[in-house]
Amino acid sequence: MTVPLTHRARPAGPARRPARRPLPPGTTALVVRSVIAAGAVAVLALWWQDTERIAGPAQWLTGAGRITGLLAGYAAPVLLLLMARLPFLERGVGADRLARWHAWGGRYLVGLVAVHVLTVVWGYALTDGRGPIGEGVDIVLHWPEMLKAGLATLLMLGTGLVSARAARRRLSHETWYYLHLGTYLAVALGFGHQLATGADLGPGPARLAWTALYLGTALLVGWYRLAVPWLRDRRHRLTVAEVRPEGPGVVSVFLTGRRLPELRAEPGQFFRLQFQTRALRWAANPYSLSAPAHPQFLRFTVKDLGAHSAAVAALRPGTKVRAEGPYGAFTARRHRTRKVLLLGAGVGITPLRALFETLPGEVTLVQRARTADDVLFRAELAQVAARRGARVHEVLGSRAQTGDLGTALARLVPDLARHEVYLCGPARFSEDAVRALRAAGVRRGRIHHESFEL
């Protein structure tokens, strides 16, 4: 296959919206949260119907242990489902929001497990008239499935520690990712304990539903995290076609393969790429499309932020690539108004570059950079802007030099409050931008945010 390695921005033309009218913003997220909350209420109902009365400190403690154990057992598969790459979640909610939910829920789960262990051991210790340490040792050594449950608890607490913000700063993304996989083993080990000692999960509909939740989760995770990527890899056979410098420490990677249109990749989406070299084959990092998908190639733009991205810049043509995706809801499906602002900084400009070429309406792109040399895609953006009658602006300089972001946006984007905004960039920039946009009158539902921090 001959691949056009000289990428030229194609005319936007009259961009078409999806044939079906999209749901209002946030509908899928609201439905998913409601279903999760309803499940939690149903779990609490199990405890309620099996509890006739509570009398004395020991029963209060064991009751708290039962409640937290049930909620922890329910939360574990839910958290795995959030990150199972389910297509309707990835497109309807968005990968970055799912990651935030997962991170918040993970802290909740670790807290529930810790409270469950403490209250159960303390409650039974009061009942048996023993010390908590002796009671805890007896439970682990003599109760069915408790050795596995003890190991699951240690794995869960250890995952919580390495996922804490202070610890993550000291770990590479790849190290944290593989340590985080211990969660899957912890969930599997804890399942037998829940059925063996869970007083609220006796034979009957509750146990069947609980088992179906865990087995269904295992099947979905196995299919979408393992089987689908393997099948797509066999079908599309992606390889590196070219690595092209774009600026200081920034390169674009062009991938070619078979039947690329079948991927149905949309501007604004991303893939998780595993480059099959000795240094990179064990890391699957997310990279956004930096141009609309072409029938013969896909383009991703990578900034040198560490050893992984530096190794990507050194890739040679012909290197095999395993790809998961496309993922993400940062697409034209969120588009509702005619006036659109694309606001980006750093490597966050990559998905906006693809959207700039394809979004319908009156589109303005504002790129924030420290120096003129740090501006990406200047020539390409100018070509696209000329072809479709859009506008491109640059905000250059340090924060002290450029002043308040809101003031700059008000000057560059007249009638800012009536714009829909696609925002992507580093965390601090995004936080400042959201505050400035809200102060300018942009409704929160019109601010679409993509984060690279999770």
pLDDT of residue 17: 46
Q: Other C-beta atoms within 10 Å of 447: how many? A: 20
Total number of domains in the chain: 3
35 Cβ neighbours under 8 A, 6+ residues apart: none
- Do 309 and 341 fall into the same domain? no
pLDDT of residue 24: 67
pLDDT of residue 109: 94
Domain-ending residue, one of 301, 327, 353: 327
For 306-377, where are the alpha helices, taking DSSP H only?
Answer: 307-313, 349-358
pLDDT of residue 9: 43
CATH number of the domain to which 426 belongs: 3.40.50.80
- Do 355 and 250 fall into the same domain? no
Within-domain flag for 13: no
- Do 279 and 143 fall into the same domain? no
- Do 343 and 428 fall into the same domain? yes
CATH number of the domain to which 249 belongs: 2.40.30.10
Give the amino acid at 302. Answer: V
pLDDT of residue 285: 85
Q: Provide the sign of the torsion angle of the four alpha carbons 312, 317, 323, 329, taken in this order.
A: positive
pLDDT of residue 254: 96
Distance CA 254, CA 444 (A): 35
pLDDT in single tens digits along all 454 residues of the chain? 444 544 444 444 444 444 455 566 678 889 999 999 999 999 999 888 878 778 788 889 988 999 999 999 999 999 999 999 998 898 888 888 898 899 899 999 999 999 999 999 999 899 888 888 988 888 888 888 888 888 999 988 888 887 777 677 777 777 777 778 888 999 999 998 888 887 777 788 889 999 999 999 999 999 999 999 899 999 999 999 999 988 778 899 999 999 999 999 999 999 989 999 988 888 788 899 999 999 999 999 988 766 667 788 889 999 999 998 898 888 888 888 899 999 999 888 999 999 999 999 999 999 998 888 888 899 999 999 999 999 999 998 877 777 788 888 988 998 899 999 999 988 888 888 999 999 989 998 889 887 655 4
Distance CA 354, CA 419 (A): 19
Domain-ending residue, one of 292, 327, 362: 327
Give the amino acid at 206. Answer: A
- Do 323 and 436 fall into the same domain? no
Per the structure, the complete domain to which residue 117 belongs is given by 27-225
Within-domain flag for 437: yes
Strand 297-303, strand 321-327: pairing: unpaired
**Could you give the C-alpha distances from 403 to 242, 268, 343, 407, 432, in angstroms and in order?**
39, 29, 16, 8, 12
Alpha-carbon dihedral angle through residues 258, 281, 308, 317, given to the nearest 10 degrees = -40
Within-domain flag for 159: yes
- Do 248 and 301 fall into the same domain? yes
Within-domain flag for 341: yes
pLDDT of residue 301: 92
pLDDT of residue 31: 93
56 Cβ neighbours under 8 A, 6+ residues apart: none
Domain-ending residue, one of 165, 198, 225: 225
- Do 265 and 195 fall into the same domain? no
pTM of the model as a whole: 0.81
- Do 264 and 407 fall into the same domain? no
Per the CB < 8 A criterion, the answer to whether 233 and 323 are in contact is: yes
pLDDT of residue 118: 94
- Do 168 and 289 fall into the same domain? no
- Do 156 and 244 fall into the same domain? no
Within-domain flag for 231: no
Q: Three-class SS of residue 296?
A: coil
Q: What is the pLDDT of residues 89-134, one digit of tens each?
A: 988 888 888 988 998 999 999 999 999 999 999 998 998 888 889 8
Give the amino acid at 221. Answer: V
- Do 44 and 178 fall into the same domain? yes
- Do 296 and 365 fall into the same domain? no
